[in-house]
Structure 1
């Protein structure tokens, strides 16, 4: 197999080492996990799960994954022993799923990038100790608190950074800060402007790309050649432009553009905040495009980093430990990759990114600030807010100086219809750069998404359809009860669609249903599990007929089924998961890219959906549906990139006669949002609606129609 190393739970990368004699292992970790998960289940039945219960839920989920990997890799056990242990682990996983169905906020703790708190780490050690298992520290251990102060106590300063600070204890003053513009209010004084600014992007307009200068050269260091669209961004930075929302479609080389723009602007030292899965790739790209400027990657507490490097790459997950010294180092530029990660301003990582940009702008009047994302809008136009604030275009309440000055010059107020296209143009001129593949890379072949309906005609399929019918009956019952409880108000002929939406909202937010009841989240996971074998079979057929295939799944158990299927068929595969070490991950990527015998790469939709170039394949199998078109597009664009020489087809596996079909339609309808805001299309303005809610609305509406 090309899959390298042992699997570990996402985000912790620890290995279990059982030090007891074989005769004493009969108890082991599974009974401990079973007791703990029952405690969480009981807590969920009493109401919303408290923080202590949430920590138990997350730790049990991590340890179940880890123990499953250990059992499957244990060559000392018999097949029947492994089967029995896996069955017991499946039972624990089932209880976790039912508990998450009751309190859906627990689902966030299962995400690949979910933060593992200190309380969870401590509980993990306790459970392992209770099971007689020793935990080996991971590659990126959490910084232990130094005292009672909390987050600030966990911050660290790597020794090489201390050396750099001692070598040059005084930052060169930037006298241009004194001359920096401050917002001057004229006829717009007193107007609330941020809401109208966001709304200006909901209206169809010209394509959202600032005017860019023609490049003087397409050559890069080392003889590399830039595409013309890449060179224009570099030319803009060389001409003095310093803020960019680089929203090119995925696959158009945003990393290279950012690195070369930093070189053109002499924005060193440069800070790059990136997802964990691509930070090693950022260092590689820096060595390729700007070899004269050394790059360093921060792992864990940063002991191995080079404090004197020109480019510092850090991932979101460890930013909290380093935000202190990063803000004081004197960066002249900052790049945020996959900037849609900061759309939730209440999240810790968003707050740290905004804090760093504020501190950099406080030290330097015109730093280079770049937000890179192929999918700047996930659910709503307001996703722009944190990105614009990072770039210094707005603050918490109003536009900053440059944007306010432009708005004042236009002479309109939000009461004037002409304000909105003018405001949109002002924001675009600050640095929005959006190019589509069809516009700038005519040599990239068109891609298509082909839906493959599959029939779930086994017991699992019948169970899923029965659960869907039960959910529909529960929705109808809620609707009829609400209708009967109305004391006043006009009667609505036929279906009251406003009430349907309210009932769907109640259902989605309700945590009081019985643990055995299904909801839209648990059903989609069950559908993914039921489709797993069929999707893997189709990927195997593709691999034998057309060559290399990229297989994407959302859940670990679906990936497990796929890999077992390929192994039984004698098909070599690589695996890209969130729990892998950077070394193991790169080995798997290289195996798929360079080994002709590795026919399939099995990818986590979360861990491998960004930052990878897998264009040696031209066929993608999407075994499970995402909740957003953006996530689906990111996955497909690992293959549909510059340099792709074949037509790209994404084969989307859809479970016929289930809610899966409706979810696919809703995902496709949401694709119009980014087109409206950034590409000038007038389609799909209403497509920012929440997919889970709309799925429930559709289910209830259909059930009511059939009952009349």
Structure 2
């Protein structure tokens, strides 16, 4: 049979290189959109199992001469892909018996299903709704022989909570919380909540993301099961934390990511997350950009069809996402109220005067001073966001005081310490407790205990940083009201924050109030939030329509710069009107 070219396998790079006739090369590019469109005699493809299967299909129509290494990789990869796809489909369609997962407290069926899918696919992002018990799903797999020793990587404030959950569900497992950033002999561990001497490697190590950098070399090849809690922490491709996580994960047998909000910004971040959870499953970063982001290679590249991408991840067994309705654990509805508050115009105007020079630097057309522009952008963002927060802080505090006339407790989210100071002073009669980046883990635990204690009638306000409370449990028993006194650039952060209260065991309707000023940084942030949310929701839930999918390809800080100069009368470009922040909102 005549052939149309040759295919070779490069094992050191795990790439297929195809040299073929121009006509077949054109067909190959049409079938594999991840291939570069640049003219070349040969094209390269990352040799994933899925690509192996698709290439064999392509070669039935256009035969290619394959050497022994290429033929072996093609056949082996295709068989694995067929077997995995069939196993995943059987499990999702409930055609496969459920494993028992013998825990001290019996897991729910949907939690067992998640653990069994992990054991089947080996690499999984569990993106269930906030509060559905993703921690229990992760613990289900721990007692299995192939999972130990296990490693849990989590945000700084969650190691103790993880140790407590493991003691609750799997008290037979020994647990050690890593307390230093560099390796040390492990002498003590916990088993069933009781401290004992460690005579060998603990069954489970719990470490925060920052300390992982110092332990990566020590743990790589030792731990067999790695759980990344709040897996959106892995979205920073190339950072020291990301590199450490990837180094440990690539030598593990099982890899699980937990997050109801796996990205915070743009779709390209999915590639960074999956390069840790399922290395090379999505191809190289350039291949992912060409196939899913329409050839946009920037840091703000968007997945051009999130619905299709979400269905693809589920079909490959790479992601599992269940809503409360799907598992029969619906909560009373979360009501989102966008409340327009006044802001001290003098505070914002004073900041804007200081921001004019920074705005000019950010808007410079030349790239000659790229570092200077980046520094100016950071300073402009910090200046305008803090000024906006400070300008509306007294009005936010007054609104919280009004809520406390009828609500037993309120969680108030913010970002700047200058704003916290105003809130604490204005709300001092309610003895607010703090959970921000300034407290030690012990102080934060004490603050949560006071706020959740029904006998402590004085501490009725919990002031929490927007990005410090992910994963915190128990607030649903004490509170039903959330106030966002400051906004974050990412809608995923808002969802995580509201989920601290709107979660399992919450018996009452929850209301989240978003305090928005009509000046300063808020109008621009509201507009950008609509864009970022459109990337996340359809991937997780493809049956939901896109939310505020806006084509705004301009840098967020650039918008702040334009707004600052427009207010100063230096540019004529109008500041875009702020669209709706939520798909179903109540405006007061």
Tell me, yes or no, if structure 1 residue 288 matches structure 2 residue 168.
yes
Aligned to 2:247: 355
Q: In 2, distance between residues paired with 1:266 and 1:288?
A: 21
* Greater fraction of residues in strand: 2
Determine which of 423, 446, 454 is the counterpart of 2:333. Answer: 446
Q: In 2, distance between residues paired with 1:656 and 1:229?
A: 44
Question: What secondary structure is seen at the aligned counterpart in 2 of 1:381?
Answer: coil
Deviation at 1:645, TM superposition (A): 1.3
Q: Contact 2:387–2:520 at 8 Å: present in 1 too? A: no
Q: In 1, distance between residues paired with 2:505 and 2:310?
A: 37
Change (3 A) 1:342 1:443: closer
Q: Contact 1:250–1:637 at 8 Å: present in 2 too? A: yes
Deviation at 1:305, TM superposition (A): 4.6
Q: Contact 1:535–1:653 at 8 Å: present in 2 too? A: yes
Change (3 A) 1:544 1:424: closer
**1:98-497 alignment to 2 at 5 Å?**
193=34, 212=92, 214=94, 216=98, 221-226=103-108, 228-237=109-118, 240-263=120-143, 266-300=146-180, 301=182, 302=184, 305-306=188-189, 307-329=200-222, 331-360=223-252, 367-394=253-280, 398=284, 425=312, 428-457=315-344, 461-465=345-349, 467-468=351-352
Q: In 1, distance between residues paired with 2:277 and 2:362?
A: 46
Q: Contact 2:231–2:262 at 8 Å: present in 1 too? A: yes
Q: Contact 1:244–1:430 at 8 Å: present in 2 too? A: yes
Q: In 2, distance between residues paired with 1:641 and 1:701?
A: 43
Question: What secondary structure is seen at the aligned counterpart in 2 of 1:601?
Answer: strand
Q: In 2, distance between residues paired with 1:687 and 1:265?
A: 50
Aligned to 1:112: none
Please, what TM-score do these two structures have when normalized by structure 2? 0.68
Q: Contact 1:233–1:261 at 8 Å: present in 2 too? A: no
Q: Contact 1:610–1:638 at 8 Å: present in 2 too? A: yes
Q: After superposition, give the CA deviation of every residue in 1:562-616 in whole Å (9 maximum; x if it has no partner).
A: 222222x2x1332212233332222221221123413121112222244344112
Question: What secondary structure is seen at the aligned counterpart in 2 of 1:229?
Answer: helix
Q: After superposition, give the CA deviation of every residue in 1:73-129 in whole Å (9 maximum; x if it has no partner).
A: xxxxxxxxxxxxxxxxxxxxxxxxxxxxxxxxxxxxxxxxxxxxxxxxxxxxxxxxx
Change (3 A) 1:429 1:645: same
Deviation at 1:629, TM superposition (A): 1.0
Q: Contact 1:377–1:674 at 8 Å: present in 2 too? A: yes
Determine which of 511, 514, 525 is the counterpart of 1:652. Answer: 514
Change (3 A) 1:663 1:246: same
Deviation at 1:554, TM superposition (A): 0.6
Q: In 1, distance between residues paired with 2:34 and 2:273?
A: 17
Q: Contact 1:666–1:694 at 8 Å: present in 2 too? A: no
Q: In 2, distance between residues paired with 1:508 and 1:653?
A: 34
Q: After superposition, give the CA deviation of every residue in 1:310-355 in whole Å (9 maximum; x if it has no partner).
A: 11111111112222221243x2211111122122222111111111
Question: What secondary structure is seen at the aligned counterpart in 2 of 1:273?
Answer: strand
Tell me, yes or no, if structure 1 residue 704 matches structure 2 residue 563.
no
Deviation at 1:646, TM superposition (A): 1.4
Name the count of aligned residue pairs.
462
Aligned to 2:407: 546
Tell me, yes or no, if structure 1 residue 636 matches structure 2 residue 498.
yes
Deviation at 1:423, TM superposition (A): 10
Deviation at 1:619, TM superposition (A): 0.5
* Greater fraction of residues in helix: 1
5+ residue gaps, structure 1, are 1-181, 199-208, 361-366, 404-416, 483-501
Q: In 2, distance between residues paired with 1:628 and 1:274?
A: 20
Question: What secondary structure is seen at the aligned counterpart in 2 of 1:299?
Answer: coil
Q: In 2, distance between residues paired with 1:580 and 1:518?
A: 25
Q: In 1, distance between residues paired with 2:368 and 2:258?
A: 33
Indicate the RMSD between aligned Cα atoms, in angstroms: 4.1
Deviation at 1:639, TM superposition (A): 0.8
**1:546-625 alignment to 2 at 5 Å?**
546-567=407-428, 569=429, 571-596=430-455, 597=457, 598-615=459-476, 616-625=478-487
Q: Which moves more between the two structures, 334-343 or 423-432?
A: 423-432
Change (3 A) 1:281 1:422: closer
